[in-house]
A and B are shown apart, each in its own frame.
Chain A
Amino acid sequence: MKLFIALMTGTLAIFALSLFVGYAAIPVPDGLAALFGVGDPLFETVMREIRLPRTLLAAMVGASLGLSGAAMQGFLRNPLAEPGLIGVSGAAALGAVIALQTGFAAAFFLALPLSALLFAAGAVGLILLLAGPRGASLTLILAGIAVSAFAAALTALALNLSPNPYAASEIVFWMMGSVADRAMTHVWLAFPIMALGWLALATLGRGLDALTLGEDAAEALGVSLTRLRLQLLFGTAAAVGAATAVAGAVGFVGLIVPHLLRRFAQGQPSTLLWASALGGAAMVLAADLAVRLILPERDLKLGVVMALVGAPLFLHLIYKTRREIA
């Protein structure tokens, strides 16, 4: 309960900060009024069409990545697991890259995220086909790695064959991940899909708790592992696929957040699920805030900042683990 209050307050505080900090200096009362469509129309445009979608997307993407990371680690009983493992984010990125490379992305407003979502759904089908609906965790992971590797190869190919340097740099920048310059339409496209994914993942708690004792003991505790596996796959695919479709590849969140919060969740996988969702939202919101504050004129990418923050945290983890082993 204390953990919930702390995380909730933190996330809401950063959320508010993200709404009221930006290039245009808007006083808080005016901004608040503008959010509800009252006051200066310029403020209203900035608040409702620039900052709100950006902030909402950062929170949604972070929550998706944190939640699916915690679920994946709980399922595999491995603190190094992350949502990208099942290949859905790689496939979604490939869909987006192909849309950019062929110029399809310019065909209509949501062409890029829709193409990414299509590829993510295709990846889920492919993984199910490879691993079988009753496949064990190991075959699921192997299928995920195969799909990721293939998607990475095709992404490289698309980059290799890009018609001109502008297209190539557009692809590279997109792949760095960002929630800047998104519209409410992006929010409305991603939200229903993410919400389905969150629902599927958030109800895994009991099964993941039981899995602490191993697959055999979990089954004897009344958990259907086949169902749990499918629910995890669909939940992760929906949440991460939609996140990648609207924000590009944002790494490290799904790996680091559950790891940082595990101690505060007292190791309990079910507690860690919602804690990581809140923590992930806070982390991505904070990273996006950093993007705007550090180099506002250079269009720093969210994924880059995340990696810059994530890598040292990872080093800290290695250090801590080594001390525990020694």
Chain B
Amino acid sequence: MSLLHVEDLTVRRGECPVVDRAGFAVRAGECIGLIGPNGAGKTSLLRGALGLLPFEGASDLAALSPRERAARVSWLPQRREIAWPMSVERVVALGRLPYLARGARLGPEDRSAVDAALRRMGLEGFRHRIATQLSGGEQARVLIARMLAQDTPLLMADEPIAGLDPAAQIATLDEFRALAAEGHGIIVSLHDLSLAARYCSRLLVMQAGRIVADGPPREVLTSALLSRVFHLKADIFATPQGPVIVPMGVHI
């Protein structure tokens, strides 16, 4: 089942296209890693596909009304923002907003979704803590839990593991992989190539606004691609968990 279909998507900043005729589809059960150097257009591609940026081309999610879209896809922006001193539980419950009638309180279904999200991110002990008083990495986990509470078929996350400690990075990606196995579709932008290779079933590689490679990690992550796209000299070790990439130097 296709959860997102994007065709010929172009996003312009002024005249210059930051995403250039990109096309891809996300099916249920896939965990897609979006990789590429800084400024390659990863965030613009995701925001364009959601309809949060003006674009040319087609994206089936952007064609929906905001309310319908919120039931189909959850979005975790790169900038982590919790404006007010709310409890962790309340922040996570914001993910249930699309399902609440005006002025309605959380129902039993909403409560169990919030509980499940807190459990998945290991935040049960933080439930009543004030979210803005937590550390940056803890806040990131709260916001991921908020996204999980929205309980949508498709999840899109922009650098969800940036700034997390190694254990939290792995735990988060484990959850994403488990969600994909349960039939959700997932697309995450990542900078850690080894983790991307290990946890994603498919990688999209972006360079200068274009998708330059699309396929399983083993096929995509070659030293030629790392050199061409990332300007990186790297050793690639095949392990049972997938390729491990060790950056060794920079191509000028």
Q: Which single residue of chain B is at the shortest CB-CB distance from A207?
A: B97
Which residues of chain A (177-231) have a CB below 8 Å from chain B? 203, 205-206, 209-214, 216-217, 219-224
* Total residues of chain A contacting the partner, CB 8 A: 24
Say whether A220 contacts B74, CB under 8 Å: yes
Cβ of B67 < 8 Å from any Cβ of A? yes
**Beta-carbon contact of A212 and B100 below 8 Å:** no
Asked whether, in the complex, the Cβ of A222 is within 8 Å of the Cβ of B100, the reply is: no
Q: Separation in Å of the A266 CB from the closest CB of chain B? A: 6
Asked if A48 CB lies within 8 Å of chain B CBs, one says no
Q: Is the CB of A222 within 8 A of B97?
A: yes
- Contact present for B97 and A262 (CB under 8 Å): no
Contact A266 B83 (CB under 8 A): no
A113 within 8 A of B: no
Which B residues lie within 8 Å of A224 (CB)?
A: 66
In this assembly, does A254 line the interface, its C-beta being within 8 Å of a C-beta of chain B? no
* Least CB distance, B16 to chain A, in whole angstroms: 21
Shortest A235–chain B CB gap in Å is 16
Query: Is B143 part of the binding interface, using a Cβ–Cβ cutoff of 8 Å?
Result: yes
Chain B neighbourhood of A209, CB < 8 A: 94, 97
By the criterion CB–CB under 8 Å, are B98 and A214 in contact?
Answer: no
Q: Chain B contact residues (Cβ within 8 angstroms of A): what range?
A: 20 to 34
Q: Which B39-87 residues have C-beta < 8 A from chain A?
A: 47, 50, 52, 66-67, 69-71, 73-77, 79, 81-87
**A77 CA to B100 CA, complexed, in Å:** 22
Given A206-B100, A213-B94: A221 in contact with B84 (beta carbons within 8 A):
no
CB distance from B133 to the nearest CB of A (A): 9
A269 at the interface (CB under 8 A from B): yes
Contact of A220 among B52, B87, B102 (CB under 8 A): B52
Q: State which of A206, A210, A267 has its C-beta within 8 Å of the C-beta of B102.
A: A206
Bound CA span A269–B91, Å: 12
* Given contacts A217-B75, A222-B97, A212 and B66 within 8 Å (CB-CB): no
Partner of B77, one of A206, A216, A266: A216
Q: Write out the residue numbers on chain B whose beta carbons fall within 8 Å of the beta carbon of A223.
A: 66, 97
The distance in angstroms between the C-alpha atoms of A267 and B132, with both chains bound, is: 10
Q: Which residue of A lies closest to B73 (CB)?
A: A220
B146 within 8 A of A: yes
A interface, by DSSP: helix, strand, loop or mixed? Answer: loop
Q: Tally inter-chain residue pairs, CB-CB below 8 A.
A: 83
Measured CB to CB, the nearest residue on chain B to A212 is B83
Max chain B CB contacts within 10 Å: which of A77, A203, A267? A267
Cβ contact within 8 Å between A212 and B85: no
- A212 engages B86 (CB within 8 Å): yes
B233 interface residue (CB < 8 Å to A): no
Most chain A Cβ neighbours within 10 Å, of B69, B71, B97:
B97
CA distance A269 to B200 in the complex (A): 38
Check A212–B91 contact: CB distance below 8 A: yes
Which residues of chain A are near B75, meaning CB under 8 Å? 216-217, 220
User: Of all chain B residues, which has the CB nearest A79?
Assistant: B84
**A268 interfacial by beta-carbon distance below 8 Å:** yes
Given A205-B103, A262-B84, A268-B84, decide whether A214 and B94 contact each other with a Cβ distance below 8 A: no
A211 contacts across to B, CB distance below 8 A: 83
Q: Which residues of the partner chain A approach B97 to less than 8 Å between Cβ atoms?
A: 206, 209-210, 221-223
**Closest residue of B by beta carbon distance from A225:** B66
Q: Tell whether, in the assembled complex, residue A266 and residue B73 are in contact, meaning their CB atoms are under 8 Å apart.
A: no
Whether B143 contacts A213 by the Cβ 8 Å rule is yes
Residues from chain A with Cβ under 8 Å of B146 in the complex: 213
A-facing residues in B81-135 (Cβ within 8 Å):
81-87, 90-91, 94-95, 97-98, 100, 102-103, 130
Binding site for B on A (CB under 8 A): 77, 203, 205-206, 209-214, 216-217, 219-224, 262-263, 266-269
For the complex of A and B, list the 10 residue pairs with the smallest distance between their C-beta atoms, beginning with the closest. A222-B70, A220-B75, A214-B81, A77-B83, A267-B86, A267-B84, A222-B67, A216-B77, A222-B98, A267-B85
Given A211-B83, A266-B87, A267-B130, output 10 extra A-B contacts at Cβ < 8 Å.
A77-B83, A212-B82, A213-B83, A213-B91, A216-B77, A220-B50, A221-B150, A262-B84, A267-B85, A267-B90
Would you mind naming 11 contact pairs between A and B with Cβ atoms under 8 Å apart? A77-B84, A203-B102, A210-B97, A211-B83, A212-B84, A213-B82, A213-B94, A213-B146, A217-B75, A220-B77, A222-B98
